[in-house]
Structure 1
Amino acid sequence: MSALILHHYPSSPFAQKIRSVLGFKQLAWKSVIIPSISPKPDLVALTGGYRKTPVLQVGADIYCDTALICDVLEHIQPEPVLYPPHLKGVSRVFAQWADSTLFWASMAYNLQPKGAEMLFASLPPAAAQAFAEDRKAMSAGMVRQRPQDATAAYRSYLRRIAHMVEEHDFLFGTEPCVADFAAYHPLWFTRRVVPLMDSIFDATPAVLEWMDRIEALGQGRIEKFSAADAITVAAGAEPMPLLDDIFQDEHGIALGSQVQIAAESFGTEVTEGELLAATRTRYTLRRTDPRAGTVHVHFPRIGYVLKKAAG
């Protein structure tokens, strides 16, 4: 199997989710640091338009969205398990809640003026403004929580998590599962990226102890890698064969059609290509880039919109 290449940047909470999963599974991976805002020409050469963080590359296969990346890592390294059989349903449902409801409440709390000032303290004012404009563009049309409402919600969510980890070392028992990593990363941002905001944990010490247990899992075995080398890897590789179960038609769009895929809400940049697969859980597009060559770009079904390409 080709090396695992993660395209990410250090302060990205969703990237931390995957870095922690890589640590849990003790996997070796190559680290490509990407810009936190557009333009991201090297990443887009691989994805065709998608620019959210992180993206996992395995040869000429490009995996978008952490929900799908977790599935891929589970397939590559089945032990220790992210989806224990007795928790398959509840762990995925909880992870989806954590990646959405919990995440957005935490970020509305984290990026209040004091937190935002800390995040950008070492950068010139223009960089902070550029980040704010970039995220505003990515979230066009989304309803944002007011900081006061988000703070109240975040406190409640932390209490609920505390009730779970007071009973067990991890959310659902003695071992972590995908739910732990999904819940951990927005809290990690509060504690490690904007620690001026970490007083919200004062009422829930059990949450900090749980976070320490996640942090102790590490981040796997990391090797620095350049974006140019990652593109060279893609150009020199063939995409992996697709699974047998490649078509579950919900849209009346035939395989082989030119299509567009974009996220439903945040980060709605479009990726266009030939529809190769629409399985129960994911879409696969084939596209060709002048630098990266022919690649397969994979998306989860949940959270993404499939449309026929215009014209």
Structure 2
Amino acid sequence: MADIILHHYPTSPFSEKIRLVLGYKKLAWKSVIIPAIMPKPDVLALTGGYRKTPFMQIGNDVYCDSALICDVLEHIQPAPTLYPESNKGLARVLAQWADTTLFWAAMGYNLQPKGAASMFEGAPPEAAKAFGADRGAMSTGMTRLRPGDATAAYKSYLRRIATMLDGQDFLMGNTPCVADFAAYHPLWFSRVRVPLMAGILDATPAVLGWMDRMAALGHGQSTKLSATEAIAACAASTGSKSELEAPFGHDSDGTFQDEHGIPLGSSVTIAAETFGQEPTEGELVAATRTRYTLKRVDERAGTVHVHFPRIGYVLKAAQPA
């Protein structure tokens, strides 16, 4: 199999989620550091429009969204599992809550004025301004919690997580599952990225102990790779046997499932439902039970298959030029 390449940056919370999954599964991976804000020309060469962090590349397959990345890593390395047999559905639902509701409550608390100021302490004023403008553009149309409401919700969620840990090391038992990784990364941001705000965690010592156990999983074995090298690896994979046989990527299910009346081979766009709605346009080559795949051609990256999960993303027929 081609190398696992993670495109990320060190302070990205969703990247920390995937770095820990790679550590848990003891996988070797290549690390491409990408910009935290636009412009991101090397990112867009691979994704075609999607600009959220992280995304994962294997050959000329590009996987967007951390939930889908977890599924792909489970397919590549089934043990230890992220989805316990007795609670697969519950683990996924809890992870989805953590990646959305918990995450936005935590960020509303973390990035209130004093938290944001600490995050950019020592940086030039224009850095904070550029970051704010970038995330503002990504949040167009979203309803965001005010700091007071976010703080109240975050405290409640931390107490609920502490209750889940009563008598066990992880959220659903004595081994971590996908829900642990999803719930960990917003709290990691509080503790590591804005430590001035980390006092909110002190009221739930069980949560702090769990966070220590999660951090101890590590990040696996990574080696550095440049964006130029990653794009070249994508271009070199174009036309490979795996591409011709399985355009839906690293998944055993290629059955077409049509909910939109859009046939395969159509020109379509896919975009996130809410945060980061920049669309990716391409040819719809797969629409399985869990994901969509677009085929697109880039002058630098060659033929790229860009994969998105169904949940959280909107598929539309492309408008004629």
Aligned counterpart for 1:287 among listed residues 296, 300, 303: 296
Aligned counterpart for 2:259 among listed residues 250, 265, 273: 250
Deviation beyond 4 Å, 4+ runs, structure 1: none
**Are 1:271 and 2:284 an aligned pair?**
no
**Are 1:57 and 2:57 an aligned pair?**
yes
* Corresponding residue for residue 227 of structure 2: 227
* Corresponding residue for residue 86 of structure 1: 86
Aligned counterpart for 2:311 among listed residues 291, 295, 302: 302
Shift of 1:123: 1.6
* Corresponding residue for residue 189 of structure 2: 189
* Aligned AA (1:180): D
Partner secondary structure for residue 297 of structure 1? strand
Q: Deviations over 1:114-156 (max 9, x none)?
A: 1101111132110110000000000000001010000000000
Partner secondary structure for residue 166 of structure 2? helix
* Aligned AA (1:216): A
CA distance in 2, matches of 1:169, 1:202: 18
CA distance in 2, matches of 1:8, 1:84: 27
Partner secondary structure for residue 276 of structure 2? coil
Shift of 1:167: 1.9
* Corresponding residue for residue 133 of structure 2: 133
Which range is displaced more, 244-253 or 28-37?
Answer: 244-253
Shift of 1:87: 1.2
* Corresponding residue for residue 143 of structure 1: 143
Which range is displaced more, 47-56 or 239-248?
Answer: 239-248
CA distance in 1, matches of 2:71, 2:61: 14
Count of residues paired in the alignment:
311
* Aligned AA (1:110): N
CA distance in 2, matches of 1:268, 1:167: 41
Partner secondary structure for residue 145 of structure 2? coil
- Aligned-residue CA RMSD (Å): 0.8
Name the % identity: 69
Unmatched runs of 5 consecutive residues or more in structure 2: none
CA distance in 2, matches of 1:166, 1:41: 47
Shift of 1:244: 5.2
CA distance in 2, matches of 1:248, 1:64: 20
Q: Deviations over 1:273-303 (max 9, x none)?
A: 0000111100000000000000100000000
Shift of 1:245: 2.9
Shift of 1:166: 2.4
* Aligned AA (1:298): H
Partner secondary structure for residue 274 of structure 1? strand
* Corresponding residue for residue 47 of structure 1: 47
Q: Indicate conservation of the 8 Å contact 2:202/2:208, yes or no.
A: no
CA distance in 2, matches of 1:144, 1:186: 16
Unmatched runs of 5 consecutive residues or more in structure 1: none
Tell me the TM-score normalized by structure 2: 0.96
* Corresponding residue for residue 4 of structure 2: 4
Distance 1:247 1:115, change over 3 A: same
